[in-house]
Amino acid sequence: MNTANVHYAKTHFSRLLARAHAGEEIILAKAGKPYARLMPLAAPKPRVPGRYPAHVPESFFEPLPKDELEAWEK
């Protein structure tokens, strides 16, 4: 884990960003004290088709109760 001061980070942000993207964790320091952490994001989870059941129950197609319909029309 490396530390970079804020002035260096502002001057060389693209380089630090590339290093973080490559997996390195960089601590940004202000006046010698740790201030923030620059690190790679976790990879997003892939979408899985068929995660939810494909069957829609018949009750889904039944009309809504009158009071609920009125609430939507306001």
Residue 22 backbone phi and psi in degrees, to 5: -80, -5
Quick one: average pLDDT of 48-66?
A: 84
For position 4, what pLDDT does the model report?
A: 95
Burial of 35 (0-12, 13-18, 19+ CB in 10 A): middle
The upper half-sphere exposure of residue 44, i.e. CA atoms within 13 Å in the direction of its Cβ, equals: 3
Where residue 73 falls among pLDDT bands split at 50, 70, 90? confident
Asked: is 1-40 a CATH 3.30.2420.10 domain? The reply is no
Per-residue pLDDT tens for 9-54? 999 999 999 999 999 999 999 999 999 999 999 888 888 887 777 7
